[in-house]
A = this chain, B = another copy of it.
């Protein structure tokens, strides 16, 4: 009788499956920081990211934010609207391209960014202390390497 059992040539190892392990680690970290912007400010992750990018880099367009923050344009659009309602963000027309709006933080928005940015920096420092400085540097390097590897042309797998 022939061997009709299903037995794939290479066996799948969940423990070393990068998409899973990376997601798990990153979610654990994200969740633990979420308390700051969500519970204290009632912000979503998208809103916090847009705030952080505008605070960090100054005036940008929605598309630029989306690219820098890896956020889909609808997420950016909604986050911008929310931040605008809070009066943390304002829009200005671009003379050269009337499709575009130059987004920037208002005075209130800059204050909010200052407070949240300080909290974020403090969180990051505490986490870095637990990990060790060398590990943090390695993580950043590997994050870069992963993004490059994935964004490279050519099918994976």
Contacts and interface: CB of A to CB of B under 8 A. Distances in A.
A37 to B, nearest CB: 10
A49 B27 CA distance: 15
> What is the count of identical protomers in the complex?
2
B25 A29 contact: no
B150 A32 contact: yes
A70 interface: yes
Contact of A157 (B21, B114, B123): B123
Given A6-B110, A6-B111, A131-B145, A20 B121 contact: no
Interface of A: 6-30, 32-33, 36, 49, 52-53, 55-56, 70, 110-111, 114-115, 117-128, 130-131, 135-136, 138-140, 142-147, 149-152, 155-157
